[in-house]
Amino acid sequence: MNAMNFNFLCGDPPPASERNVGIIGAGPSGLAAAGYLSCLGYQVEVYDKLPKAGGLMLFGIPGHRIPKERVETGVRRMAKKYGVVFHPRTKICCSAPLHDEEGDHFCSDVRGLGDLVKKHDAIIICTGSWRSRRLGIPGESLPGVMAGLEFLFPIRAAGYAGPGIKAPDVAGKTVAVIGAGHSAVDVVHSAIFLGAAKVHLLYRRTKNEAPCGSYEIDRLEAAGALWHESVAPLRFTGQDRVTGVEIREKALGQPGPDGKRCALPDSEHVTVIDADLVVTAIGETATPPFAKELGLENVRKGEVRWLHMTDIENVFVAGDALTGPSKIGKAVYSGLRAARSLANWLDLKDQDRLADYPYDDLVAREADRFPGGRLHR
């Protein structure tokens, strides 16, 4: 099986440079940035709270989508051949409470962001999206109601002997999954694989409007999942533990000229879907450290002094930490672009030529060079 090649921009390692760069986060964007900068001969150190590098590629996405061996072999190659130093189980603290995100309990070392700023010539924050979104409806705090990442993370993490980490017990149980993105698809596949007796998938729109695509829904149905479309969860039922999901359901008419099906008049009714476990797989949010202090909202808008640079001059940001949850390809692209911007900035700084390049002009030309590359969402 071919390893992921994070150093695809170079062959043999280049001559060593005196520059030292720190990268916070070892997911797709962080590994892409590490590969780019180590191809320039930089000494690169990568800090991540998890026991292995790879981020959600390793700890969130099931192995049938991304085999963990491809990620792990690529990381080992980068460390051995290009000298990238990895600091696992290391949390860079913190503007949110510790243990507020998935994976925090793996940490055995906590370091301050300020310490890294002083230690390295520059750093890139690539911390990803590790906090699950919530529906905010009654009963969501009941035992047995889980978020998508809360369900998926232990399945991949259980093999790393973290404290109290074990895969969810769903064998012989009925599971209800809310959502229709790739996270929801992964939850359904995993629940079936773990032996769930019945799996319901609930979505507020139709199969043709599902973010994962109708093909994925068809595959889930073929695997035995029960698809419910145009339903809205109202509350989770149960006293000491969840027993089901109360939903508002709409009957749909025939497809119109645009292929969409509209709700029939006076067709709404409320019903309950029984479930032993409910997973709200509706996405994640980014949790970068000190987002306000670093001015990340301004970076998202493109109101920056230098592409991908935060309010701290030698701190850059990339990937989901900047844009919010995205696909792996976009995260890789963001990491590469931030790494190149960082390298250009260090070059001009060493030459004392930063004043020769208007920041606004640089940002505009960079965005124009890459179609769709502007940082506006």
Task: Output the CA–CA distances (angstroms, integers) from residue 339 to 56, 190, 206, 315, 344, in the order listed.
Answer: 20, 35, 40, 11, 9
- Chain centre to alpha carbon of residue 374: 20
pLDDT single digits (tens) 38-55: 999 999 999 999 999 999
Closest of 234, 326, 335, 248 to residue 285, by C-alpha: 326
Question: Residue 296 and residue 308: Cα distance in Å, rounded?
Answer: 9
Mean pLDDT within 203-227: 95
108 pLDDT band (50/70/90 cuts)?
Answer: confident
* pLDDT reading at 354 higher than 60: yes
Cβ pair 291, 189 in contact under 8 A = no
Whether 285 and 131 have beta carbons less than 8 Å apart is answered as yes
Q: Identify any residues that bridge with 227 across adjacent strands, giving them in sequence order.
A: 201
What pLDDT does residue 37 have?
A: 98
**Tokens linked to 178:** 């809310």
Confidence of residue 377 (pLDDT cuts 50, 70, 90): very low
* The pairing of beta strand 43-47 with beta strand 284-286: unpaired
Q: What is the pLDDT of residue 75?
A: 97
Q: 96 pLDDT exceeds 60?
A: no
Give residue 153's identity as a one-letter amino acid code. Answer: F
- pLDDT tens column, 159-195: 775 656 788 999 999 999 999 999 999 999 999 999 9
pLDDT digits (tens, 9 = 90+) for 53-94: 999 999 888 888 889 999 999 999 999 999 999 999 999 886
Q: What is the distance between the alpha carbons of residues 157 and 161, in angstroms, rounded to a whole number?
A: 8
pLDDT per residue over 257-306, tens digit each?
Answer: 665 666 566 667 899 999 999 999 998 888 788 888 889 888 887 777 78
pLDDT at 231 exceeding the cut of 90: yes
What is the pTM for the complete model shown? 0.85
The size of the chain, in residues, is 377
pLDDT band at residue 254 using 50, 70 and 90 as cut-offs: low
The pLDDT value recorded for residue 362 is: 46
Give the helix/strand (H/E) hosting 332.
Answer: helix 328-350
Identify which of 278, 192, 197 has the alpha carbon closest to the alpha carbon of residue 241.
278
SS3 218: helix
